[in-house]
């Protein structure tokens, strides 16, 4: 087979899938190549199964804390094995729909490992049978990432698991689980596994969500919510000296001298770009010292007709980022490289004991740009909607420019934060977004009304009435 396409995408995760669908919808002849499971990490062992479990965790937490007062009596028991089977069913349904939609759009799908032979040619090596070449005027690298495994905790089936392994095979026996890490994955899975019936020990080496740019107020709310559900980092920290695997489980010795015993370990220790064995060097596609593909603001690599998106091109390893990148790359392929990526305005969301979501700048970033940040704040503690849901934790926190009235960024903490953040991310014009919110029409009672309240508070407190009203 030696077929010519307008666009070939390597990798079928959220970025690759989005690029293939958008390219086809805009009239390109598209092919997509996948060497493993269709849907990549996000669908099979990331966002989709994790969020499925998070929904169950939230229901269990609410049942324990609030259902009795609402006149809902009885007890709920978590079954992690059943929860695993449930998420697998969700994943299968989504994957089948995903593959069917690509077929209906006329996207050619190829299974096998893809390697660049030249800037317009890919060699496809299927698991069985002879290899073949595909050609395209443009190529998008959407090859994703793989988990980082510390030397002191070697990945071992049934004992020391990456998140990939957690969703690839049924969960191990045993309720005693150590979760290692202090980033998003650890913050989410300590809560999820605790609510799903595990006895969790959290080994956090550094500060909670240290690289995520959430405000101290947001992190304080998350710590409080975790604490209410009986979750706190291990008092001796998360620096691990050694680990030993036996039939009884895993014995971990900490740098501070203590030790813990558990049935199995879940690693939340970061990920690496999956850019090896793609033939990048042979065709001149440059990578940095960490393995990320180097791109310009239009997501072009050092070879102009080859683009890179998502985890393989940025340490901001979220499905949201990959989806946004896909739109930028396809638009530039079609319209001549006039669209820049805008990473700050891609929603960043954490699903834990409470939700955290943010877009845009924080105050420090604004000041670095020599802007004058003003803050508008509204808490959910007085929201009729939040009070009616027995979940009044959290707030809306908006950042505007005192001189122009432009929206610079925003942060939302609390239930449904991951949905509410779209009101900021999708504002039609950031220069007038605060005025747009102030003149908006809202359902009542609704959590979204707190964005209006935060906007009006900013206008009044910071002398911005003329700019916003």
What does the H/E/C string look like for the chain? Answer: CEEEEEEEEECCCHHHHHHHHHHHHCCCCEEEEECCCCCHHHHHHCHHHHHHHHHHHHHHHHHHHCCHHHCCCCCCCCCHHHHHHHHHHHHHHHHHHHHHHHHHCCCEEEECEEEEEECCEEEEECCCCCCEEEEEEEEEECCCEEECCCCCCCCECCCEECHHHHHHCCCCCCCEEEEECCCHHHHHHHHHHHHCCCEEEEECCCCCCCCCCCCHHHHHHHHHHHHHCCCCECCCCCCEEEEEEECCEEEEEECCCCEEEECEEEECCCEEECCCCCCHHHHCCCECCCCCECCCCCCECCCCCEEECHHHHCCCCCHHHHHHHHHHHHHHHHHCCCCCCCHHHCCEEEECCCEEEEEECCHHHHHHCCCCEEEEEEEHHHCHHHHHCCCCCCEEEEEEECCCCCEEEEEEECCCHHHHCHHHHCCCCCCCHHHHHHCCCCCCCCCCHHHHHHHHHHHHHCCCHHHHC
Q: What is the pLDDT of residue 256?
A: 86
The verdict on 323 and 371 lying in the same domain is: no
The residue segments making up the domain with residue 259 are 160-269
Q: What is the mean pLDDT of the chain?
A: 96
Q: How much of the chain exceeds pLDDT 90, in percent? A: 94
pLDDT band at 205 (very low <50, low <70, confident <90, very high): confident
* Buried b or exposed e, range 264-295, using 16+ CB within 10 angstroms: bbbbbbbbbbbbeebebeebebebeeeebbeb
**What are the pLDDT digits (tens) for 370-392?**
999 999 999 999 999 999 999 99
Q: Which residues pair with 133 in a beta bridge?
A: 2, 123
Q: Is residue 469 part of a domain?
A: no
Above 90 in pLDDT, residue 431? yes
Q: Is residue 259 part of a domain?
A: yes
pLDDT band at 53 (very low <50, low <70, confident <90, very high): very high
* Distance in angstroms (rounded) separating the CA atoms of residues 380 and 258: 41
The verdict on 236 and 214 lying in the same domain is: yes
Q: What is the pLDDT of residue 68?
A: 87
CATH number, domain at 397? 3.30.390.30
Q: Is residue 154 part of a domain?
A: no
Above 90 in pLDDT, residue 45? yes
Residue with tokens 């740009």: 369
The verdict on 212 and 106 lying in the same domain is: no
The verdict on 290 and 358 lying in the same domain is: no
The verdict on 143 and 284 lying in the same domain is: yes
Count of domains in the chain? 3
**What are the pLDDT digits (tens) for 116-159?**
999 999 999 997 778 999 999 999 999 999 999 999 999 999 99
422 is a catalytic site residue: no
Above 70 in pLDDT, residue 1? no
Q: Is residue 468 part of a domain?
A: no
Q: Is residue 152 part of a domain?
A: no
CATH number, domain at 131? 3.50.50.60
pLDDT band at 2 (very low <50, low <70, confident <90, very high): low
Q: Is residue 155 part of a domain?
A: no
The verdict on 292 and 252 lying in the same domain is: no
**What is the rounded average pLDDT of the residues 83-108?**
97
The verdict on 29 and 85 lying in the same domain is: yes
The verdict on 10 and 131 lying in the same domain is: yes
**What are the pLDDT digits (tens) for 387-418?**
999 999 999 999 999 999 999 999 999 999 99
The verdict on 260 and 284 lying in the same domain is: no
The verdict on 277 and 142 lying in the same domain is: yes
The verdict on 305 and 359 lying in the same domain is: no
Last residue of a domain, one of 310, 344, 378: 344
**What are the pLDDT digits (tens) for 223-279?**
999 999 999 999 888 899 999 999 999 999 999 889 999 999 999 999 999 999 999
Q: Is residue 296 part of a domain?
A: yes
Catalytic residue among 66, 148, 234, 444: 444
Q: Is residue 456 part of a domain?
A: yes
Last residue of a domain, one of 296, 313, 344: 344
Last residue of a domain, one of 344, 377, 407: 344
The verdict on 261 and 168 lying in the same domain is: yes
Q: What is the pLDDT of residue 65?
A: 86
């Amino acid at each position: 087979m030696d077929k010519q396409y307008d666009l070939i995408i390597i990798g079928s995760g959220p970025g690759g899938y989005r690029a293939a669908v958008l390219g086809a919808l805009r009239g390109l002849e598209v092919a997509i190549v996948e060497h493993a499971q269709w849907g990549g990490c996000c669908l099979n062992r990331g966002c989709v199964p994790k969020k499925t479990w998070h929904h169950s965790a939230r229901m269990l937490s609410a049942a324990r804390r609030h259902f009795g007062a609402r006149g809902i009596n009885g007890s709920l028991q978590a079954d992690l094995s059943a929860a695993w089977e449930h998420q697998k069913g969700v994943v299968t349904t989504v994957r089948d729909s995903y593959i069917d939609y690509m077929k209906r759009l006329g996207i050619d799908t190829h299974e096998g490992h893809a390697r660049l032979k030249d800037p317009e040619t890919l060699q496809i090596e299927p698991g069985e049978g002879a290899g073949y070449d595909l050609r395209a005027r443009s190529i998008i690298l959407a090859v994703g990432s793989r988990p980082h495994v510390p030397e002191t905790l070697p990945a071992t089936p049934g004992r020391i698991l990456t998140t990939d392994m957690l969703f690839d095979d049924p969960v191990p026996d045993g309720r005693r689980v150590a979760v290692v890490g202090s980033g998003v994955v650890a913050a989410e899975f300590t809560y999820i596994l605790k609510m799903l019936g595990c006895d969790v020990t959290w080994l956090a080496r550094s500060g909670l969500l240290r690289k995520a740019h959430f405000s101290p107020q947001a992190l304080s709310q998350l710590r409080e919510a975790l604490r209410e559900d009986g979750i706190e980092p291990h008092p001796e920290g998360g620096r691990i000296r050694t680990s030993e695997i036996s039939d009884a489980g895993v014995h971990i010795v900490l740098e501070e001298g203590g030790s813990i015993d558990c049935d199995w370990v879940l690693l939340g220790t970061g990920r690496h770009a999956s850019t090896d064995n793609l033939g990048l060097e042979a065709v001149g596609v440059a990578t940095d010292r960490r393995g990320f593909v180097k791109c310009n603001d239009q997501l072009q690599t050092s070879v102009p007709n080859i683009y890179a998106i998502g985890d393989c091109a940025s340490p901001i390893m979220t499905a949201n980022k990959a989806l946004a990148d896909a739109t930028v790359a396809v638009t530039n392929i079609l319209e001549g490289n006039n669209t820049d990526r805008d990473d700050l305005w891609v929603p960043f969301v954490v699903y834990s004991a409470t939700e955290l979501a943010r877009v845009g700048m924080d105050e420090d970033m604004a000041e670095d740009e020599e802007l004058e940040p003003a803050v508008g704040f509204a808490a959910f503690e007085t929201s009729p909607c939040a009070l009616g849901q027995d979940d009044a934790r959290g707030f809306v926190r908006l950042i505007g420019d005192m001189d122009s009235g432009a929206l610079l960024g925003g942060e939302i903490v609390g239930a449904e934060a991951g949905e509410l953040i779209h009101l900021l991310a999708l504002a039609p014009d950031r220069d007038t977004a605060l005025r747009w919110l102030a003149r908006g029409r809202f359902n009542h009672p609704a959590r979204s009304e707190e964005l209006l309240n935060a906007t009006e508070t900013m206008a009044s407190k910071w002398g911005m009435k003329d700019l916003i009203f």
